[in-house]
Amino acid sequence: MSKLKLFLPVIIFFVLAIFMWRGLYQDSRTLPSVLIDRPLPEFQLRSLELGDQLLSTADLPDEPFILNIWGSYCLPCLQENPIFMAAKDQQIIPIIGLNYKDRDESARNWLEINGNPFELNIIDDSGRYGIDLGVYGAPETFLVDANGVIRFKHIGVINYQIWEDEIMPAIAAVRAGGDS
């Protein structure tokens, strides 16, 4: 027994080492959203398209849609724009933009130059609505179902791989859930 006790340090060490080895492949930087399966928070915000008129969740599509957080200062947003443009062309799903902590003119310029995949661009210039969404930087992408409930969130840039492997299956799942 007392001999076995001496092996305790090495056992503890190897348990820790296994956790550390697993830890190397854990992503500890992307926060899981606490808003999954909760309704999209309420808002009263302007949009790029409709002047000073204040919009709310009632003005959003009543089918599943994507809510993309973007800004003209955001280089990765430039990378994912072609994917959203393609999705728009193929009419896969409506995409709503949340122009996050940006200036209106810069945002309009950016859309003009790079193409506008968004049906509507809600303006969150103060970043206050972003906080309600648990956003901590652009780009972030939410998938909202027909009842206005958040079903999926992706943090960071979306490339073709992620679109195919994560976003499309999530859209399919939301549609299937909505039908049943």
Partner 1 sequence: MIPELGNFALILAFCLSIILAVIPMAGAARGNLLWISLARPLTAGVFVFLSISLLILGYSFVSDDFSVQFVANHSNTMLPIYYKITAVWGGHEGSFLFWTWMLGGWMLAVSIFSKAMPDEFVARVLSIMGMLSVGYILFMLATSNPFDRVLPLSPEDGADLNAALQDFAFIIHPPSLYMGYVGFSVVFAFAIAALISGRLDAAWARWCRPWANAAWAILTLGLALGSWWAYYELGWGGWWAWDPVENPPMITWLLGAAMIHSLAATEKRGVFKSWTVLLAIMAFASSLLGTFITRSGLLTSVHAFATDPTRGVYILGFLALIIGGSLVLYAIRAPSLKSEFGFGSFSREVFLLANNLILVVASAAILLGTLYPMVYQAMTGGELISVGPPYFNAIFIPLMAILAVFMAIGPISRWKKTSPEHLRSQLTKVAMAAIGLGIVIPVLLTLDVPLGTIATTVLSFWIIFAMFKDIRSKIANKPTIAAGLRSLPVSYWGMTLAHFGFVMTMAGACLSSIYSIERSVLLQSGQSADLGAYNFRFEGTRPVQGPNFIADEATIVVSRGGEFYKNLYPQKRLYTSSGTPTSHMGIDGRFLRDLFTTLGDQRENGGWSMTVYVKPFVRWIWIGTIFIAFGGILAATDKRYRQFKVKQAQKMAITTPAHAQSSAPVSLSTGLDAGGSGA
Partner 2 sequence: MKLFERMLGLSLVCVLLYLAFPVNSHAQVDVYDFETVEQEQRFRQLSNEFRCPMCQNANLSSSPGGVAADLRREIYRMIIEGQTDTQIEEFMLSRYGDFVLYRPRLTTQTILLWFGPILFLLAGIWIGWNVIRNSASRKSPTRNGDGSVTVANNSHAVADVVISAEERKRLNRLLAENDLPTNANDMTGR
The least distance separating partner 2 from the CB of residue 76, rounded to whole angstroms, comes to 4
CB nearer to partner 1: give 13 or 160. 13
Residue 70 CB neighbours (<10 A)? 27
CB nearer to partner 2: give 122 or 155. 155
Residues in the chain: 180
The least distance separating partner 1 from the CB of residue 136, rounded to whole angstroms, comes to 13
| 5, 24, 44, 89, 146 from 120: Cα distances, Å | 67, 40, 14, 15, 17
The least distance separating partner 2 from the CB of residue 63, rounded to whole angstroms, comes to 26
Contact status: 1 vs partner 1 (CB under 8 A): no
Q: How far apart are CA 102 and CA 99, in angstroms?
A: 6
Structure tokens at 4: 């076995």
Binding window for partner 1 (CB under 8 A); candidates: 27-35, 38-46, 53-61, 147-155: 27-35
Contact 151, 143 (CB under 8 A): yes
The least distance separating partner 1 from the CB of residue 147, rounded to whole angstroms, comes to 25
Contact status: 177 vs partner 2 (CB under 8 A): no
